[in-house]
Structure 1
Amino acid sequence: IKFFTAHYRLKHTLPGQLPDPWHPVLPYEINPTSTQIDVYQLEPNATYVFQVWATNRLGRGEVTEVEAQTKHDNQEIELARHLLEGAETFDTRVWVAAVAIVMGTLLVLATATIYALYKECRIPAVRVSEKDVETMELIPNIILNPGYQDFGQSEWAEPDENSNDTTAIRLNNNTVINPVRI
């Protein structure tokens, strides 16, 4: 067996109407190892006729007809009845008031957040003096220029024949730069 094929239609139709046409069951080619299939969009409390046949390398086999009835679906009716309980006494003013309170609270919180952010951006956190500005300007030079000489790193000495007036400079723990004699 290569695959099975199935079709279905309503068993009973209203008088004066054409019989229901055959509808294919998807997938068109049902795997031969399948023991059951799901058929969707059937009407509740209705009787259906199913035709099933197998196809092999020789062709289509004998058609088998099976009748099946769907269950009565009252779940939607019960749900609607449950949702409509108390609809006669429902007052929309209560819901409007509740929504207005929630929206008002959100509006106040949003306004307070925007005001706080505006104030934080407008007022500097600390007053900066001119001396602090000079110190801040020197810090990048120290970082960018590893040869920046601090008094702890080098000492002043008498100039030698090449006009070197400092001792060796340490850039890090491993490198020592000595003045070069020309």
Structure 2
Amino acid sequence: MLYYKSITFNLFYIFVVSFISVPYTNGNSINEYRKMFPKLGENVTLKCEFNNMINSTVFWNIHHKELPGRAKILKNGNLFISSFNTTDAGIYICDRAAGNETSIEFELISKSIPGSLLDVKVIPYSVLILITWREIENNDTYPVKYITIRYRIVDGGYASNSWNVLKVNPSKVQKEIYSLRPNTHYKIQLSVSNEIGEGAITELTTKTLNDLTETELEKHLLEGIDTFDTRAWTFAVIVIMSTFSIFGIALCCLFIKDPRMQKSLEDSDDIERIELIPNITINPGYCET
């Protein structure tokens, strides 16, 4: 009993899976499936390769949509789409108008360039600029290859028509630009590129911060001078000058006292020598003792 139930369940499962997996083909079986990646603006020709086909015996349709207005069935039965765009993407099916014939299915996926960077912010400093943006969500079919950053000076005397170009890894979300001129306007362009081409350009203008001049440095050094208590400054000067005065007086005293001490020592040595002479004369063995 269990054996028959198992067989019945398996047959039912196979039937359901087979029914779900059969694509919509207007009742006809799919003879061939093709996937195509036309570029935007490109003319596309879908070849319905049945033998001895003419346009009167061919039926073209697209899943859940009408054929584009630019689509035209040629005499040989092929479908021609001029200036392909994203709205033309979908699954096209070619079969005989009589029905019950095998069909050819074409899936058109548009090749498109990436969009612009989102949430771009520029933080200027005196000699560098920090640029940040939101993380890029990659398209699995056409992933982003790199981010391009261009910048140039737009101030009158230093204006330049040539762009400095940087290529940035798409996994990054920020980039620093160094060696810039302070207090200068810069024009910045950012874009994303894949194998199809370059996406929309985001353009911004920013100005680097002022570099500190001697006058500004003087202002910073003299900050708070108006509220400074001069009595504390005077007291500190008096203490320092008094200390130096004491050291100076002590040093002078040492210089004055040293020659006198040296002279007294020399006089005492002479007296001792004079006293030794009579003792040596009277007692020759005096020095030995």
| Both proteins in one fold, TM over 0.5 | no
More strand per residue: 1 or 2?
2
Q: TM-score, normalised by structure 1?
A: 0.36
State the structure with more CA Rg.
2
Q: TM-score, normalised by structure 2?
A: 0.24
